[in-house]
Amino acid sequence: MFRYALCFTVIGLWVSSTAVRAQGHAQTLLQTRQVQTELKMTSKQLAKLAQAAKNMDQIRADGHKLYFGRLNQAPPAGTKGIGFLQNVVTNDQVDEAKKKFAGFVEANEAAYVLPILTAGQQKRLQQIHWQLNGPISFSAEGETKLDSGFRKALGATEEHEAKILAILKEKGWESGKEEIMDFLPEAQRENFTKALGAPFRLKAKTPSARGREKPASR
């Protein structure tokens, strides 16, 4: 019994960490003082953000149960924990769940978090997100794609999009940016730079006593 409990605890921690990396980024970025300052958020906006954060915490919990709950099912009697889990849950299934979870969170952030910001603030937040995480988006069905706003700003063809996605899959955003710039035509290189906006580097966070970063003072 203890062996099963240990297996499920480890699996749960693994899923939680990968899910955090896959989820939407608007709320996460907006809880950072440096981003709040960059966007010049008002005290009224910060109050609304605090309430939205509570709602999103519940939404994420619901989404986690929906897309990852299967990993926490108890094995049938007479089966071995690790072998049973490996037979039922494959890496592809976990990857698909992560992408669907990300699309679920992104859709809810678009509905509950982004409306707090002005159009200009939303644009700058999007630029910051692209700079830090890359221009990737996930649909509710788990499809990986180039962010529609970035694709439009870049003027990318389907061929360009496929090439960019292939580079990002192989090398990631930080390592793949230069290669993406190298293969793009000159005009699109300019669009690439403009789409990302003014350079933004996220500094080390200063967590509050509750484990979340303190909001920017106003």
Q: Point out the least confidently predicted range of 87-96, 109-118, 194-203.
A: 87-96
For residues 33-49, one letter each, b for 16 or more C-beta atoms within 10 angstroms of the residue's C-beta and e for the rest, the string is bbbbebbebeeebbebb
pLDDT of residue 13: 31
pLDDT in tens, 45-55: 999 999 999 99
Task: Report, as an integer, the average pLDDT of 122-126.
Answer: 94
Q: Report whether pLDDT(100) > 70.
A: yes
CB proximity list for 206: less than 8 A, separation 6 or greater: 33, 213, 214
pTM over 0.75: no
CB proximity list for 188: less than 8 A, separation 6 or greater: 154, 155, 156, 160
Examine residue 66 and state whether it is found in any structural domain, yes or no.
yes
The pLDDT confidence band at residue 71, using thresholds 50, 70 and 90, is low
What's the total number of domains in the chain? 1
pLDDT of residue 139: 63
pLDDT of residue 122: 94
Report DSSP letters for 87-111, one per residue: HH--HHHHHHHHHHHHHHHHHHHHH
Examine residue 204 and state whether it is found in any structural domain, yes or no.
no
- Answer yes or no: are the C-beta atoms of 147 and 136 closer than 8 Å: yes
Pair of tokens at residue 178: 């230069």
Examine residue 37 and state whether it is found in any structural domain, yes or no.
yes
pLDDT in tens, 72-98: 555 555 544 444 444 456 777 788 888
Q: Point out the least confidently predicted range of 66-70, 104-108, 116-120.
A: 66-70
Residue with tokens 């870049």, as numbered in its chain:
154
Examine residue 208 and state whether it is found in any structural domain, yes or no.
no
Examine residue 201 and state whether it is found in any structural domain, yes or no.
no
Examine residue 202 and state whether it is found in any structural domain, yes or no.
no
pLDDT in tens, 183-197: 999 889 999 999 999
Task: Report, as an integer, the average pLDDT of 119-135.
Answer: 93
- Answer yes or no: are the C-beta atoms of 63 and 105 closer than 8 Å: yes
- Domain range spanning residue 173? 2-196
Examine residue 210 and state whether it is found in any structural domain, yes or no.
no
Give me the percent of the chain exceeding a pLDDT of 70.
Answer: 71
- φ/ψ of residue 84, rounded to 5: -65, -45
Examine residue 110 and state whether it is found in any structural domain, yes or no.
yes
Q: What is the rounded CA–CA span in Å between residue 137 and residue 35?
A: 21
